[in-house]
Structure 1
Amino acid sequence: MSSPKPNPSSSAEQRSDGSQPWLHQKGRTIQEFGTVKQFPVALTMETRLYSCQRLNKVLADTRILHDLYKKYHWLMRGATFYQLHLLLDKHAGEQLELIDTVAERVQTLGGVAVGDPRHVAEITTVPRPPDGVEEVPSMLSRLLEAHELILTECHDAAARTQEYGDDGTNDLLVSEVVRTNELQAWFVAEHLVDTPLIHA
């Protein structure tokens, strides 16, 4: 007995009934990275383009810093393991909040926030650490270096965006990114003070 022939209309019916996902779709790029669309936010296209460029640099570095915090949170060891394990995870969570806030600011200005980790790696200036485990002071020092890179970028970007009249970006950089990074840098740096654990 021969098997029934497939119904040529069945696949079309399956797609049109609304329950079957349309898989493996490819589409055209509707906005290129590095461009801004027109938004009624009372800022010129030149200003918004400049702010998005600076914000994406901060965003890329912040994403790397977040990942370093998570990595070192996992790899922490030694006598202060518990305290640092918790501290680094807390800082990672705060950096994650900054990532979302900065990305949303880029989108608010009509830009495209850097999202793909491979694209982030192309933009960031935070040095890549070894794949293995470094000594604890080295890991903490790398975090501090990343903080300082972000703070240097933010101070300059905040001043320049204020000159352009972009108060929202200036406020975000100063009130949230700078203050968060300064506070975290203080907490991490204090763990590198050469204080004996036990006094005679």
Structure 2
Amino acid sequence: MKSKRFSSLRAASPRFDRAQPKLHQRAKEIQPFDAVIAELPIGLSVKVREEMVGELNQILSDTITLRDLYKKSHWQVSGPTFYQLHLLFDKHYSEQTELVDEIAERIMLLGGISVAMAHDVAETTNIPRPPTGREEVPVEISRLLEAHEIVIKETRSAAHRAADIEDDGTNDLLVSDVLRTNELQVWFLSEHLVSMPLTKAK
């Protein structure tokens, strides 16, 4: 009875169809990945924005990979320092997540398209892929430090270039946020690899 009632309502009122979601829609891309919007009134030429979008997408890809490496370590860490590192890795993961958003938003602001999907990130990242299984804590930390070094070197290079071509916004993001966050995280991680006595000095 109920289905007949709704069928009669639809027949009586063509406007009923307006509430039906239009599912399974597809269309052509409105902007290819490698294209930058030509006319954008932010005082930077297309050439400058294209170059910075390329630099930022590489840093974004590696930042996403570093972020996910932190989450892997957060889940898989073990041993007597489990609790401290479990919390530290998650804190650093959250901070890297903020950087991912900031870098991606800067790319879009410059008129480009930010890398987004995992398979695209995997194809472009410079950070070596870790094994799927669990590793010892010193190895986990070493992998994270090596990943940080890759991001830091890329960031410094891109920041210098941004300054040279007067993209002050990108330079500020790279120096004030990306570089300083990564340097600080390196400090916190590195201290966990120092061999120190716990109860009696040598």
Q: TM-score, normalised by structure 1?
A: 0.91
- What's the offset of the Cα at 1:23? 1.3
Equivalent-residue separation in structure 2 for 1:180 and 1:138 (angstroms): 22
Take 1:14 and 1:139, find their aligned partners in 2: how far apart are those partners?
Answer: 62
Instruction: Provide the residue aligned with 1:22 in structure 2.
Output: 22
Per-residue CA deviations over 1:144-192 (Å, capped at 9, x if unaligned) read: 0000000000010011111111000011000000000000000001001
Q: List per-residue Cα deviations over 1:116-160 (Å, max 9, x = no partner).
A: 111011110000000000111000000000000000000100111
Gaps of 5+ in 2: none
Q: Which amino acid aligns with 1:30?
A: I
Q: Give the AA of the match of 2:190.
A: A
Q: 1:117 to 1:15 in 2, by over 3 A?
A: farther
Report the AA paired with residue 195 of structure 2: D
Report the CA distance shift for 1:14/1:183 in structure 2 as closer, same or farther (over 3 A): farther
The corresponding residue for 2:76 is 75
- Where structure 1 has 5 or more consecutive residues not aligned to the other structure, the ranges are none
Distance 2:14 2:189 in 1: 57
TM-fit CA distance, 1:16: 6.6
In the TM superposition, residue 14 of structure 1 has moved relative to its aligned partner by: 7.8
Distance 1:179 1:135 in 2: 28
Q: Which AA in structure 2 matches 1:132?
A: G
Give aligned-pair identity as a percent. 53
After TM superposition, give the deviation of residue 57 of structure 1 in Å. 0.4
Which aligned pairs between 1:145-160 and structure 2 lie closer than 5 A?
A: 145-160=146-161
In 1, Cα distance between equivalents of 2:186 and 2:98:
17
Aligned-partner Cα distance in 1 for 2:14–2:102:
41
* Counterpart residue identity of residue 136, structure 2: E
Residue type at the aligned position of 2:73: Y
Distance 1:15 1:106 in 2: 42
Q: Distance in 1 between matches of 2:132 and 2:197?
A: 30
Q: How many residues align?
A: 192
Greater helix percent: which structure? 2
Superposed CA RMSD in Å reads 1.8
The aligned residue for residue 67 of structure 2 is 66
CA distance in 1, matches of 2:92, 2:57: 20
User: Residues 174 and 14 of structure 1: is their aligned pair in 2 closer, same or farther, counting only changes over 3 Å?
Assistant: farther
Cα-to-partner distance string for 1:53-98 (whole Å, 9 max, x where unaligned): 0000000000001101011011111111111010010000000000
Structure 1 residues 46-65: aligned runs within 5 Å:
46-65=47-66
Normalised by the length of structure 2, the TM-score is 0.90
Aligned partner of 2:99 in structure 1 is 98
Q: Distance in 1 between matches of 2:194 and 2:29?
A: 51
